[in-house]
Amino acid sequence: MSEETITAAPDPDPTQVLDRPAPGPAGAVVDPAGAVVDPGGDSALLLDPSAHARSRRAVAAAFTVRGMERVRERCRRMLAELVDELLQDGPPAGLTEAVLSPFADAVICELMGVPPADRQGMRAWTRLILSSHGTEAGAKAGREMGAYFSELIGLRAGSTGEDAASLLGAAVSRAEVTLDEAAGLAVLLRIGGEAVTDQSVRLFRVLLACPDLAERLRAEPETRPRAVDELLRGLPRRDADVVPGPGTSDLGLGPNPQVSFGRGPHHWPGGLPGRTVSELLVDALLDGVPGLRLSVPADELLLRAGTRLRGPESLPVTW
């Protein structure tokens, strides 16, 4: 790129899109997707740092570079199919429903080891937990998801697989964690994975609302990973004590801590997969759908209601 700094357009205001989710009530546990959660009632997992650390160590390998490489080619094929279907159906289309959400869901389920036949039910549970917290429907979905993962992990006790459920099953068989602890973490990981969908929607809301940026990234694909990383940090940057030039996003920026998927002992460990999902989406949609753009003014996009996730409800597009 000839210019290394992106200046946020005053209309729309990307800060309204990439703001962090609002904090939960005092004492509540908020997952990286911004939802207050109770994984099947297993609050001890969240409150006991030792159990939480042991469970996270057991599953960490699923979310490493090797873990992502294990599923990368399958993910590319799934994304290519989704983009082909988008093009076949023709414009206008809902980008979130057609590509962003199903792709992010499929990647997380691949990493978790959830079989394809079970993924629709997993998605339904996740949506209920996020949208119905404090209701019997949300609590029931949490219990059902916890029971599902208990069974799945139990069946994989002693497994040599590299997905999260298999790694947790192996840890249970070695008595490193209990089955309840493993299932509780699996629920949190799946719910936290919704942050990948949310961040993808927010990223494309900003990208499609800034057509000059989209065209620059089409013209110079080698700059996309850096641009995606900056967009996931939040565009524009606002902390002048940490980074220079608040109000812009510097694609040549040096160290700038990435907190898009949370920080601390309960941060979602899928930051690398989340970033990879965004990079794959940017490549597939910018290259595969020339002229992709919003079909309504950006300031008319409706934000989600009835959930702690803050992104747009949908991204109507044309091309």
What angle is formed at CA 302 by the lines to CA 300 and CA 303, rounded to 5 degrees? 135
3-state secondary structure of 293: strand
Query: What are the φ/ψ torsions at residue 266 (nearest 5 degrees)?
Result: -110, 15
pLDDT for res 251: 52
Which one has a higher pLDDT value, 70 or 6? 70
- Four-point Cα dihedral 166, 170, 173, 176, nearest 10: -120
**Average pLDDT of 201-217?**
93
Q: Token digits for 298?
A: 């950006």
Instruction: Kindly report, residue by residue over 170-194, the tens digit of the pLDDT.
Output: 999 999 999 999 999 999 899 988 8
Q: Is the pTM of this model over 0.85?
A: no
**Residue 15 binned pLDDT confidence (cut-offs 50, 70, 90):** very low
Instruction: Please compute the mean of the pLDDT values over residues 60-80 and round it to a whole number.
Output: 92
Beta carbons of 283 and 82 less than 8 angstroms apart: no
